A and B are shown apart, each in its own frame.
Chain A
Amino acid sequence: MSETVVSEMETSAGGPAPGAEPTSAAAVSSLAGRKIRMESKRLNFHYGPKQALWDISLQIPEKTVTAFIGPSGCGKSTFLRCLNRMNDIIPDTRVEGDVLLDGNDIYGPGTDIVDLRRRVGMVFQKSNPFPKSIFENVAYGLKINGLASRGEMPERVEKALRRAALWDEVKDRLDASAMGLSGGQQQRLCIARAVAVEPEVLLMDEPCSALDPIATGKVEELIHELQREFTIVIVTHNMQQAARVSEFTAFFMLGRLVEHDRTEKLFTNPGQKITEDYITGRFG
């Protein structure tokens, strides 16, 4: 399943947003040949009686960055949270359709949700370090998943902090509280915490929206580095950011996937009128 060829996307393409044509065939050809890490098939999502996602079929190729863009409330964050079943903790929600990770349905009965979330990590909009020391924050996931012995811990923590480009800034105060870090450092600490458990996919929900431009630049640089090892999905409100960091971009609108294509193509020659209107700032 993981080698799913993209022609499937065409047949199961998401219902079009009002006034939009079905997903263009261009998206299909651009994904061809890429190994697919995650995939949703005809995914519907409901908050109680309100349907938030309509018929989303999307493939996420591995070891690259896929960006989700769209106006507020378009469902991009909801969809992102479907990929690690984070919506499960919200009462009265319902999912229809499949989400595949390496070909296995994560909503299937055999899924261990704890293992799933270890494999699909997440970084949140607002940095959420635990009120513990810097070291303990990074070690947390390793500890609860039993991934490292006490002796291995310092090494693993250092590796994670280096990957998050934070090591040099915090190596002398690993035992200090994480709450004392700056906003940008806190967010990179959360990234370090997430990559420490060696996830396959890293979901990022507007990771820079609370950061200043310099911190944003650092995180973007980091994303660029991390895509060599991880499959990254990033939700962003900032279209320049999507253009800078991602190889593929998916445009969401009113709970539907309007267009999914190579970022370059989507921004320079969008297949849908509505996409063009959005990226040129004519609405939203």
Chain B
Amino acid sequence: MINVEQLIFEYPNLRALDEVSFHIPQGSITALVGPNGAGKTTLLRCMAALDQPMSGNIRIGGIDVLEHPRECHRIIGYLSDFFGLYDRLTVRQCLHYVARAQGIADEDCEAAIAKVSKGLYITDRLDVLAGTLSRGLRQRVAIAQAIIHSPRVVLLDEPASGLDPEARHELAELFLELQKQGMTLLVSSHILAELEAYSTDMLVLRQGRIIEQVAIKTLTHAQDFKLTLATPVANLAALLQSIDKLIVLKTEHDQSALLQIQGDSLQQHELLKNLLARNLPVCEFAKISNNLQDAYLETIRQRP
């Protein structure tokens, strides 16, 4: 759905994006993560055809974004990190304007407003002035504006900032719902725990370069375990490696190990039985939650 090739964007004296290339499949929710100043916002703005890169190619839904930016605007929804609302208009008027501006016929606007406001739990606020809303509600209205025309691709820059935990949970549900409808989402955020609830892929950007692209959901199939022995056992690594369907990630002082197991809980049970059968003094065999934050930190550690 999204193909970016050799994208370069430069500010005076700064290369914000340095030969960025990646591919995002249709129907995925990709978390765009990276430290401050990594180039996340610049990348999203280039993809939304708001800023012009120095060189490179971006294709969204088969449309060459740099050649045909207006065509691209029709199939994307974009939420800026510094979004604004028309404070002197009601939420309904704001949504109506954006719906009309995105080419929805006047007679279809009410249905579009009803659908999007239901999804974002703002139905009861439709007749309230946008300027009187709280930060969280403003965020929801802005997201509603970005998706009211049911775009094929949604680019969201820090969509959850300013939202309370309940609203974040609702937002995660909304994103999963949008994914079910066939939309492709690229979400930039600093709150990794929140991204984990819905992301299928992760794109790590650092100093303007993509340093990693991983499929998060696939990672969860290969489960990591920590094994700790009561006393050290000589040649622990070699012993563990001789066991089938087990990947030894790391051993420490012949007393502890980090293992990866492919399979379900029965497979885990078989493995534990196997370890005990080999007279290993097992005192701890525990699952390690392999979350987005771990994956991100691991990536950052591996590629300083």
The answer to whether A and B come from one shared complex is: no
